[in-house]
Amino acid sequence: MSELKYKRVLLKLSGEALAGEKGFGIDPETVSHICREVAEVAAMGLELALVIGGGNIFRGLSSSAKGMDRSTADYMGMLATILNAMAVQDALEKAGCPTRVLSAIATTELCEPYIRRRALRHMEKGRIVICAAGTGNPYFTTDTAAALRAMELKCEAIIKATKVDGVYDKDPAKHDDAVKFRSIGYEETLRRRLGVMDATAITLAQENHMPIIVCSMDGGNIKRVICGEDAGTLVEGD
């Protein structure tokens, strides 16, 4: 068994990742594929928390731009993250991983309330914890929720698993000459507006010295990252 570089991490997944090629909603095959990757690293003894976005179902910010009240739109986005969390919980448990969904807004018939000590206890017992409903407050993204939960749960790193294999100086899908960073500082990430996470999340990570690793969610890259291999872009330092 490979030695783990990290013993406890927070994995941030976008909601769009769960939609697969459909681009909207939840694709069960895609969810199962992602969860098999997650189950593999959990079986190595990694303590794991997840934060999942809701953009495959509803995106509060874009809806508020079209005239909806921002707070209402954001709360609807939080509900979308709960739907995603339940889908991922189902797939993880089918893959043999005991999983708990803890929500920042009360949905007692569906999942547990987010209580920090309870979440820590679940992780200590080897359960995967999915933190749903963002921070429970409007105007905060799930990126910010991921950074906040990573601090609260004493994680050693945030792994942001995306469709690309790291951070580039420009969009690699549009520019053939895009250059990938092996590592980059928080300040430069903010200055270049590289879109790793939103500015609030990156600033929170910076102030608390929390490294962010951006990698592809496919091809065993999450496993490679937690074993300390070079499999993405490391964001840390000035």
pLDDT value at residue 60 = 72
Q: What is the DSSP string of 142-159?
A: HHHHHHHHHHHTT-SEEE
Q: What is the largest CA-CA distance in the chain?
A: 53
Structure tokens given for 172: 């690699």
> What residue type is assigned to position 127 of the chain?
R
- Tokens 């939103």 sit on residue: 198
Q: How far apart are CA 118 and CA 153, in angstroms?
A: 10
pLDDT in tens, 91-120: 999 999 999 999 999 999 999 999 999 999
Quick one: which H or E segment has residue 130?
strand 128-132
User: Domains of the chain by range and CATH?
Assistant: 8-235 (3.40.1160.10)
Which comes out higher in pLDDT, residue 145 or 164? 145
Q: What is the pTM of this model?
A: 0.94
Amino acid at 99: T
Mean pLDDT value across residues 161-180 = 91
pLDDT tens for 201-221 read 999 999 999 999 999 988 899
Q: Is the pLDDT assigned to residue 3 strictly greater than 90?
A: no
Return the amino acid letter for 6: Y
List of long-range contacts for 185-188, beta carbons under 8 Å, 24+ apart: 185/235, 185/236, 185/237, 185/238, 186/235, 186/236, 186/237, 186/238, 187/238
User: Best-predicted range by mean pLDDT among 22-26, 67-71, 151-155?
Assistant: 151-155
Q: What is residue 182's predicted lDDT score, i.e. its pLDDT?
A: 94
Percentage, residues of the chain above pLDDT 90 = 84
Q: Which DSSP category does 6 fall into? A: -
Residue 22 CB neighbour total at 10 angstroms: 11
Contact between 19 and 9 under an 8 Å Cβ cutoff? The reply is: no
Confidence of residue 195 (pLDDT cuts 50, 70, 90): confident
Number of H helices, E strands in the chain: 8, 11
Give per-residue pLDDT as tens, 38-78.
999 999 999 999 999 999 998 777 777 688 899 999 999 99
